[in-house]
Amino acid sequence: MKKFIAPLLLAVIALICFSFKKQPPAAKPNVIIIFMDDMGYGDLECYAGTPWHTPNINKLAAQGMRFTYFYVAQAVCSASRAALMTGCYSNRVGIHGALAPNSPIALDTSEQTIAEVLKQQGYRTGMVGKWHLGSKQPFLPLQQGFDEYLGLPYSNDMWPVHYDGVPYTDTSTIGRAKAKYPPLPLIEGNNPVKIIKTLDDQSTLTTTYTERACSFIKKNKQHPFFLYLAHSMVHVPIAVSGKYAGKSQDGLFGDMMMEVDWSVGQIMKTLDETGLSKNTLVIFTSDNGPWLSYGNHAGNTGGLREGKGTSFVGGIRVPCIMRWPGQIPAGTVCNKMAATIDLLPTIAHFCGAPLPRKKIDGVDIQTLLFNTPGANPRNELAVYYERNSLEAIRKGPWKLVLPHKGRTYKLNLPGYDGFPGAQPNIDIPEALYDMRRDPGETLDVKEQFPQVVAELKTLAGKYRQDLGDELTGQQGTGRRAPAKVE
């Protein structure tokens, strides 16, 4: 009897193991990146237990992998988006800050984006939403590898409208920078098709973007495709359609989060209806943390220090969920470091595409997605801000904050109902944090671990030689120039 039971038991174990084995990936999976604007680490129910409900995003996490140490390259709009699109630190490609409508620079068209990398492999490429890497035709998405585009060329607050939603009538008033902005255009292809004039107009954006994204999926269901859905929300000014106004019982921000969740649900539903779910990698993340000076019109960091526009974790650590049925184990959590600059090389690997010709900074994180034991493809991260200031170095569990002037939200009360509070710059001293035991960056342990400080300073020197550092006057040998806008 024992001789019979042993082989039977082994067969059962083998069958169980086979049932959980990752299935061979399709040759050309579809890829969707949903990129939120200013969404904080604590804004999702599956991360921090928010007052509002996000069942569709919860489902996305339950069916895929939730990252707990996922970083952006810089905690500001254009820089973060340049890094996502190119797989490079944004200062390597010459982009910094949030490019104004009349910015003299743009992402150079010689830089290869994710769209261009995949287009070479026969992918259909579409973008919907906020671009913010150049607002004139030579530098819009159609010139950076996308077959089609519908969205805003830059942030939705770059318009001649006051914080209360009333358009400016006197654009000559000194000090009113917003009053001097041009009208905010909704662009299709390379041409404006509508002017966003009011908060009511803003309230249509999430629905407009979602409908176009779903249409793109349906239209290209017979071809491998890359869809980049870059929502304008939750960036101020926030607005919500009538579908969700008042539904959250937690104010306008909660209503808007429910509508964002609806948008994700529509994307997932469309994938199910077209039979594409199992062959589509969906990535949901944000460009930086919340703009905390806007109070109840901003999100939260889940207890992390500071927010948007800073090199502290509240600014650069963002929610990230990836789902690919049959490939990424469902219901898993990744506690290893990864970043938006890693998406391009990872996606290129899955889609059989060569990497860009020029040097990139991202690494392939496929081993994290497949839950490979011992995998740790990214063990360090340089944190730049401003034009080219190296403000922090992360390696393993350690983060060394380098002396610099930086924004703080801790000295003034936040604004309310769409109006901002003050966000002054202060002197930030050198400090060492153990991110395992102090994720809120509250305990400086540099005196206890001088050898760690020395090691991270040596690592900082390596980045300064390559990418430069305005704080120490180094130019760097590996930086590339942005395009000049005529």
Distance between CA atoms of 66 and 48, rounded to whole angstroms? 12
Q: Residue 125's beta-bridge partner residues?
A: 226
Contacts of 105 (CB under 8 A, 6+ apart): 94, 95, 99, 482, 483, 484, 485
Encoded tokens for 265: 């649900």
Encoded tokens for 205: 């954006």
Alpha carbon 464 to its chain centroid, in Å, reads 25
Distance between CA atoms of 159 and 171, rounded to whole angstroms? 11
3-state secondary structure of 129: strand
**Are 127 and 148 contacting, i.e. CB atoms less than 8 angstroms apart?**
yes
**Residue 132 annotated to the active site:** yes
Query: How many DSSP H helices and E strands does the chain contain?
Result: 12, 20
Distance between CA atoms of 387 and 209, rounded to whole angstroms? 31
3-state secondary structure of 285: strand
3-state secondary structure of 61: helix
One-character DSSP codes across 359-386: -------HHHHTT-TT--S--EEEEEET
Q: Residue 322's beta-bridge partner residues?
A: 65, 283
Tell me how many degrees the CA angle 318-98-39 measures, rounded to the nearest 5. 25
Which segments within 356-480 are labelled E, that is strand?
Answer: 380-385, 389-395, 398-401, 404-407, 425-428, 431-434
Distance between CA atoms of 241 and 457, rounded to whole angstroms? 49
Question: What is the sign of the dihedral through the CA atoms of 462, 467, 469 and 475?
Answer: positive
**Residue 349 annotated to the active site:** no
Choice among 77, 88, 320, 334 that is catalytic: 77
Q: Residue 71's beta-bridge partner residues?
A: 317, 339
Choice among 17, 53, 88, 132 that is catalytic: 132
Distance between CA atoms of 2 and 4, rounded to whole angstroms? 5
3-state secondary structure of 216: helix
Closest CA to 251 of 447, 417, 385: 417
Alpha carbon distances (Å) from 453 to 284, 442, 456? 34, 17, 5
The 10 Å Cβ neighbour count of residue 338 is 25
**Are 209 and 150 contacting, i.e. CB atoms less than 8 angstroms apart?**
yes
Q: Catalytic site residues?
A: 77, 132
